[in-house]
Structure 1
């Protein structure tokens, strides 16, 4: 298996023009590690086992684990309204102030917009971002970076530390981990691996810089190696599988992280959601994990507590998602039965375009417009044509990227249960409602 996976990693990285990648497979109580390429294109600086790659939203699993440390210590109650810790949000949240909890935020069922309102420059942006909920707390799943920014602020208030200080002191140091911080102004712990964009037509690979503000750090501000991701995941394994217990989170609270939250249906992304972990049950197995995309990176973490298996992949290119897809069948052939989401579309698209789906749907400051272009339905994001949509029975749809022809996560149109009219769209796990932004109607 070792030689074969190393060959597959290199072959797929070359094919997808990924400058560098790390793969670690934890199985039978030991790690098998593989590295490919370089940290920054054209430098010759080899990607090593300890190279740090911006991991994007996998940061959320670290943030959720950090909060669960505070929960285990009795400092935070998952079901207490967050305004009890952050009273500055009470007025802005309005009727939702006494409903929204940390459990909602960790499971993306808080109904908050996807992204922090610009300019994302601190507490003012955070308060402004919670004003326009996309749906009431607890009503359903809508992926939200804003929710994790609120969690980060809660951590700061409870601990009296900055978020980077709290992560280092409370979580990383006991685990023996030293991660990079993209947005920490006090230290130069920048990631050692650059993200990259790829132009296949011109065969151009270009480094890109990370663009993230400190308030967004709890949602995507860490840089780690694949080995670092495995160490965090080992907290969820039993000792017989090589699990570790640093005494941070109780066994009951770790189990709560892995348990599906009722109503958290991340259609297209996964089959359920816990607290900082997605659930993948496409093959009936109990896989969990998280994916992360930073500027020019694509990273993936999967763990199975039942079998004691962990798989972590970090790549420093936006095309790394293709490398992950290439690895999945090879890992399965090697006996690692990784599960995908069960949300697949097996029916043929409708022959006629359902006009009732067209219109503009809004999540925070982002507008998703569904328009008819010729004989097809297209998705336009903030006035930029983004994807081709093919609507199937049940008003679910497949997604094809207009720029590169890649197939994206499936999505769906949702109906108002009272009127029966289509009033929302769920794409990329994010729910957007059929309404206009204030600037469009001013």
Structure 2
């Protein structure tokens, strides 16, 4: 390649105060890697190719691949009622394995990290994943769901008789000669693991994150730790690299990359252009790219690949500011035709001109344990408060679209929109970072629940 990757990565890491990072690029049959900095700030332990970074939600494509391996072997039918394999979800028949992997299963977005979590995933599923408790009718909308992937991991355990950790290691990683590390769960051999860091304006040094809040039950959604070179190997196995032993055949891999959202009323606005089975789909770089992003406790990791040339780009960082580093990396790669799919977070897709915030958007919106309260200030402004007591000022655009910057003054920006009821025209939903919350029934301006919500604007 004609780019000095170590120099590029080191410069971006200094700019964004990222203590350590890995970058791996596969192009034209060659993989080039760069590793810079320390696993933990001030520790003196350098980041190496072997260092494992908590992947956060980049764990999900691995869990999806496990499910697809079972589908390819005839052990499950992607479109069968999930209750045929996991009776704990209860009757209904609309929730399917395909819906879980494409985030159209209707389940709530986030696990209540402060709640009670049985370490027996079957018991947790029986309590939290019943189809009758779905927050959206299955198959009608995209709403990003960590809980859906916990259920997908349980499906793997039911069918294989192995734990999710055992299945991940034996079916996916060992054939690719990847040594696993896990954020939570049983140890699987020694592999140095990077520590996440918070980076605050006005402070000289990044602060290591000492606590770990991910419950063991949530491991299939966010529990894996790997390196950038491992991510490249995994993506190349999906592209059918002849030198690698893939867990799934070419047909299953192709199905994972196929757009699954045809006919779905609300897509993954702000996160991607569409979604497959485990993979986000990005169409903003002139060709289809696939991948996923993941944030852990003070880490940010990213993966993109495209089929035509077989190019793969993977970045792992041990700071929350790694998101901004990734955005700048995409801009650095763009000149000379090296555009990588996946727009930055600083503005919504096709935002149009800025507008005042509409007062009709004010109200309380819920998705399981997640809650947003939107308040109009009477002067054309909107504020959004989460149930974690974070408050954001919204920058509004045409079509009821908005961005909201993290309240600590950092650069991370979330993209969202309000959606209208196609029958009444009233605002009934808000979507933030792909998660779709419905106006609460006890809200003074509540509208009737929708069976098939429509696009906003």
Provide closer, same or farther for how the CA distance between residues 34 and 405 of structure 1 changes in structure 2, counting only shifts above 3 A: closer
1:392 aligns with 2:371: no
Provide closer, same or farther for how the CA distance between residues 22 and 437 of structure 1 changes in structure 2, counting only shifts above 3 A: farther
Following the alignment from structure 2 to structure 1, what is the Cα–Cα distance between the partners of residues 383 and 303? 31
- Residue matched to 1:59: 59
Following the alignment from structure 1 to structure 2, what is the Cα–Cα distance between the partners of residues 137 and 6? 45
**Post-superposition offset of 1:432:** 0.3
Out of 425, 429, 434, the residue aligned to residue 430 of structure 2 is 425
Following the alignment from structure 1 to structure 2, what is the Cα–Cα distance between the partners of residues 157 and 46? 40
> Would the aligned equivalents of 2:416 and 2:433 in 1 still touch at CA under 8 Å?
yes
- Residue matched to 1:408: 413
Contiguous gaps of at least 5 residues in structure 1: none
**Post-superposition offset of 1:322:** 1.1
**Post-superposition offset of 1:300:** 0.3
> Would the aligned equivalents of 2:238 and 2:246 in 1 still touch at CA under 8 Å?
no
> Would the aligned equivalents of 1:280 and 1:288 in 2 still touch at CA under 8 Å?
yes
Out of 370, 375, 379, the residue aligned to residue 374 of structure 2 is 370
User: Deviation per CA, 1:14-49, whole angstroms, max 9, x where unpaired?
Assistant: 111100000001001111100110001111100001
Q: How many residues align?
A: 429
1:120 aligns with 2:120: no
- Residue matched to 1:255: 254
> Would the aligned equivalents of 1:38 and 1:46 in 2 still touch at CA under 8 Å?
yes
1:361 aligns with 2:365: yes
- Residue matched to 2:451: none
Residue range with higher mean Cα deviation, 428-437 or 363-372: 428-437
Provide closer, same or farther for how the CA distance between residues 56 and 189 of structure 1 changes in structure 2, counting only shifts above 3 A: farther
**Post-superposition offset of 1:383:** 5.2
Taking structure 2 as the reference length, what is the TM-score of the superposition? Answer: 0.89
Q: For residues 2-21 of structure 1, what are the structure 2 equivalents within 5 Å?
A: 4-21=4-21
Out of 207, 210, 214, the residue aligned to residue 212 of structure 2 is 210
- Residue matched to 2:38: 38
Contiguous gaps of at least 5 residues in structure 2: 444-457
> Would the aligned equivalents of 1:109 and 1:139 in 2 still touch at CA under 8 Å?
yes
**Post-superposition offset of 1:391:** 2.3
User: Deviation per CA, 1:120-177, whole angstroms, max 9, x where unpaired?
Assistant: 3343433332353221111010000000000110101101111101111111111111
Q: For residues 102-141 of structure 1, what are the structure 2 equivalents within 5 Å?
A: 102-117=97-112, 118-121=115-118, 122-131=121-130, 132-141=133-142
> Would the aligned equivalents of 2:99 and 2:138 in 1 still touch at CA under 8 Å?
yes
- Residue matched to 1:312: 314
> Would the aligned equivalents of 1:415 and 1:424 in 2 still touch at CA under 8 Å?
yes
Provide closer, same or farther for how the CA distance between residues 419 and 383 of structure 1 changes in structure 2, counting only shifts above 3 A: same
Residue range with higher mean Cα deviation, 230-239 or 271-280: 230-239
| 1:412 aligned counterpart, secondary structure | strand
Following the alignment from structure 2 to structure 1, what is the Cα–Cα distance between the partners of residues 230 and 7? 23
Following the alignment from structure 2 to structure 1, what is the Cα–Cα distance between the partners of residues 191 and 35? 20
- Residue matched to 1:164: 165
Q: For residues 212-361 of structure 1, what are the structure 2 equivalents within 5 Å?
A: 212-239=214-241, 244-261=243-260, 262=262, 263=264, 265-333=267-335, 335-341=337-343, 344-351=349-356, 353-361=357-365
> Would the aligned equivalents of 2:26 and 2:313 in 1 still touch at CA under 8 Å?
yes
| 1:431 aligned counterpart, secondary structure | strand
Residue range with higher mean Cα deviation, 256-265 or 287-296: 256-265
Provide closer, same or farther for how the CA distance between residues 268 and 420 of structure 1 changes in structure 2, counting only shifts above 3 A: same
> Would the aligned equivalents of 1:281 and 1:341 in 2 still touch at CA under 8 Å?
no
Provide closer, same or farther for how the CA distance between residues 68 and 244 of structure 1 changes in structure 2, counting only shifts above 3 A: farther
- Residue matched to 2:175: 174
**Post-superposition offset of 1:372:** 2.6
Taking structure 1 as the reference length, what is the TM-score of the superposition? Answer: 0.92
> Would the aligned equivalents of 2:370 and 2:387 in 1 still touch at CA under 8 Å?
yes
| 1:148 aligned counterpart, secondary structure | helix
**Post-superposition offset of 1:251:** 1.1
Following the alignment from structure 2 to structure 1, what is the Cα–Cα distance between the partners of residues 16 and 387? 28
